[in-house]
Chains A and B, each alone.
Chain A
């Protein structure tokens, strides 16, 4: 019998690892593997005691801009410049003459701001345990907290950047429609999907350091092949359909951008994301449970 009464949560005063006795053969493999539920158990523990990762996320954000005169303004200004300059240029280059150039600003602002969030979260989560090595080796082994710290740090940045989205939507009059109510469903779906992928990547990235580099390249490519700068409606023919419908990031962006900017409810895209979420979380939970005893060795 092998059991693992899990890692020491504060207040929980007991921890025991009982592994097979010597006569079953010291195969050297680490025993006492956690059950598949361990990711969710760890998540519950993390939300019960959120001090470390919330404070950590705040510190990370605060440190990034501490000694700068403009401080947090830098977070917003880069995005603002991007949206203004690219919006002005590409609305002339890409749109057909006579088309509505106004809505392009709202399109690119929403797409780009969400993209930054996705890209930063995925990129960094593949290296998160390596970056936290000192703390892990000193005994802080609530691995979920490191991912939540990173994720909520990017949520703070996303919050700042949303100012630009709101600005773009107000200035390029995008009307509030009934479709906006679906955001109450799609926004949580969006975050659930991204967080699930973060957990999956954090495990895979800890085992295979190459994943970090791979993500960098892949995400750079996907920035261009996902309709962020361009619009799906600009395409001609079926070839472009592959770039849209086989692209997971399209679905993620569209479930928010569709209702927000275009006033449509993208049922297909919502369905795809909703179906993907259980799969992503199942994979993440399996990988996490399998890998948890090894993280300290891999990093």
Chain B
């Protein structure tokens, strides 16, 4: 079965009052009331509006947009960390995610232990991980220090390690957030080669970045976001050109955080 991602009129909002009524000390009554009213009196802040797109096997999608456009939120939805508020999202295929820099690495544990931990969390068995270790060491070039604690690694070394483990599982869907392009030239080159050899016709890459060069090299399709909406979907070159043009700035959308009619109060 080939992998695919399909979103239909997907919305995502967060209950924005949680930070205020979260503390029992400041507002003990609200805490009880929320239990009773099932939180329906809270306000909701929409982050993504009415998103529809379909990614097919072989798509290498770049997410483009200014800070706060919703790139990371969209990646988290695709990773299953967040659940859409309305609309549909269907994902076929197992995802591998590199969404934050620490990637849940245990900084006191050794590099090797972190390989196992990440491997297990990717759903591999102990044997499968052991079989992949030589290849992971080769890509990450960490063989001499693999028994040292990860806290002694540079951020580039951590990045290489996480990237090597995540891609060694030959993911059906690979989700990368923009920090990955913070690597040096050599890392970007090597990771590009590795992605090329790993992304075959049955796999999907979704990559958020601000770096046009990396985007052009890695992606074939671009999804431009603004204030939580998809404003352009097409060829990567055209998407980048659109993002850099005045058209992008000119688009008027409900600003992020500004409640839409009907979404302001649920009741």
By beta carbon, the residue of chain B nearest A133 is B104
Chain A residue numbers with a CB within 8 Å of B82 are 293, 296-297
CA A56 – CA B114 in complex, angstroms? 10
Within 8 A of B (CB), among A100-146: 132, 134-141
Chain B proximity of A46: nearest CB distance (Å): 12
Chain A residue numbers with a CB within 8 Å of B65 are none
> Could you tell me how many residues of chain B have their Cβ less than 8 Å away from some Cβ of chain A?
65
A15 touches B80 (CB 8 A): yes
Tell which of B9, B106, B109 touches A21, judged by Cβ atoms closer than 8 Å.
B9
Q: Check if A191 is an interface residue, CB within 8 A of chain B.
A: no
Give me 5 A-to-B residue pairs in the complex whose CB atoms sit less than 8 angstroms apart, sorted by A's number.
A16-B90, A28-B266, A139-B76, A208-B31, A210-B25
Within 8 A of B (CB), among A6-41: 7-22, 24-32
Chain A residue numbers with a CB within 8 Å of B224 are none
Kindly name the residue among A4, A22, A51, A298 whose own CB sees the greatest number of chain B CB atoms within 10 A.
A51
Q: A15-B91, A132-B104 are in contact. Are A28 and B263 (CB under 8 A)?
A: yes
Chain B proximity of A206: nearest CB distance (Å): 11
Q: Check if A156 is an interface residue, CB within 8 A of chain B.
A: no
Q: Check if A220 is an interface residue, CB within 8 A of chain B.
A: no
Chain B residue numbers with a CB within 8 Å of A166 are none
Chain B proximity of A201: nearest CB distance (Å): 15
Tell which of B1, B39, B84, B103 touches A32, judged by Cβ atoms closer than 8 Å.
B84
The interface stretch among B16-24, B190-198, B215-223 is B16-24
Chain A residue numbers with a CB within 8 Å of B22 are 207-209, 298
CA A34 – CA B39 in complex, angstroms? 17
Chain B residue numbers with a CB within 8 Å of A8 are 80, 91, 94-95
Q: Check if A245 is an interface residue, CB within 8 A of chain B.
A: no
Interface string of B65-108 (1 = CB under 8 A from A): 00000000000100111111111111111110111101111101
Chain B residue numbers with a CB within 8 Å of A210 are 23-25
A26 touches B260 (CB 8 A): yes
Q: Check if A276 is an interface residue, CB within 8 A of chain B.
A: no
Q: A17-B89, A21-B86 are in contact. Are A28 and B104 (CB under 8 A)?
A: no
Question: Which B positions have Cβ atoms within 8 angstroms of A?
Answer: 1, 3, 9, 11, 13-15, 18, 22-25, 31, 39-40, 43-46, 50, 76, 79-95, 97-100, 102-106, 108-109, 113, 116-117, 120-126, 172, 175, 260, 262-263, 266
B125 touches A51 (CB 8 A): yes
A296 touches B81 (CB 8 A): yes
Chain B proximity of A218: nearest CB distance (Å): 14
B86 touches A19 (CB 8 A): yes
Chain B proximity of A242: nearest CB distance (Å): 26
By beta carbon, the residue of chain B nearest A34 is B83
B85 touches A31 (CB 8 A): yes
Tell which of A26, A139, A293 touches B79, judged by Cβ atoms closer than 8 Å.
A139
CA A29 – CA B34 in complex, angstroms? 13
Q: Check if A234 is an interface residue, CB within 8 A of chain B.
A: no
Interface string of A188-216 (1 = CB under 8 A from B): 00000000000000000001111000000
CA A66 – CA B110 in complex, angstroms? 11
CA A4 – CA B13 in complex, angstroms? 18
A137 touches B117 (CB 8 A): no
B123 touches A9 (CB 8 A): yes
By beta carbon, the residue of chain B nearest A142 is B121
CA A59 – CA B124 in complex, angstroms? 17
Extra contacts besides A13-B3, A138-B81, A141-B81 (10): CB < 8 Å: A17-B83, A17-B84, A25-B262, A26-B262, A30-B85, A31-B85, A66-B108, A134-B105, A138-B97, A139-B95
CA A179 – CA B16 in complex, angstroms? 56
CA A22 – CA B102 in complex, angstroms? 36
Interface string of A50-69 (1 = CB under 8 A from B): 01100110010001001000
CA A207 – CA B19 in complex, angstroms? 10
Q: A7-B80, A29-B39, A55-B116 are in contact. Are A298 and B18 (CB under 8 A)?
A: yes
CA A28 – CA B22 in complex, angstroms? 18
Tell which of B80, B105, B262 touches A141, judged by Cβ atoms closer than 8 Å.
B80
CA A8 – CA B78 in complex, angstroms? 11
Chain A residue numbers with a CB within 8 Å of B76 are 137, 139, 296
